[in-house]
Amino acid sequence: MRDVRDYLEERLAAEFGEKKIHLNSQFPGTERLSNTCNFSFRGPQLQGCSVLAQCRTLLASVGAACHSDHGDRPSPVLLSCGIPFDVARNALRLSVGRSTTRAEVDLVVQDLKQAVARLEGQA
């Protein structure tokens, strides 16, 4: 699963670039779940809930696992890790499974790209 998660993060970084996306769960020298990717889109109109509402195929959750019931307030866990408030507020959490394929990851990244484009077009 780690390989597919890493592929997801590579595709997100390649598609959106550092100015548009922040990978929240990549800290040197730390261990993390092999199937989970936490990231944020940069931009006031790109809050996690808004992005997910525009997705046509992706089902995911926002924030951090221990914070998913707190609405649009940023996760205290992400904030304590040094993630800036405006970035943490936009967090999305994606998980992959044993059967997740790279082709499925590519579809998710395309769905996210189209969702972000729709939201930016409304601004």
For residue range 2-31, list pLDDT tens digits in order: 999 999 999 999 999 999 999 998 777 778
Greater confidence, 91 or 123?
Answer: 91
81 found inside a domain? yes
Other Cβ atoms less than 10 A from the Cβ of 94: the count is 21
54 found inside a domain? yes
84 found inside a domain? yes
Catalytic residue of the set 37, 55, 66, 81: 66
Return the CA Rg of the chain: 13
Question: What tokens were used for 43?
Answer: 């931009």
What global pTM score does this model have? 0.87
33 found inside a domain? no
Long-range pairs, 30-34, Cβ under 8 A, ≥24 = 34/1, 34/2, 34/5
**Catalytic site residue 66?**
yes
Structural domain harbouring 70: 2-27+39-122
Residues 6+ positions from 4 with CB-CB distance below 8 Å: 35, 96, 100, 101, 102, 105
67 found inside a domain? yes
Instruction: Note whether 40 and 90 are within 8 A (CB).
Output: yes
Q: What CATH number has the domain bearing residue 69? A: 3.90.1150.10
Given a cut of 70, whether residue 94 has pLDDT beyond it is yes
Structural domain count, the chain: 1
Given a cut of 70, whether residue 88 has pLDDT beyond it is yes
Report pLDDT digits (tens) over 46-82. Answer: 999 999 999 999 988 776 555 555 566 888 888 988 8
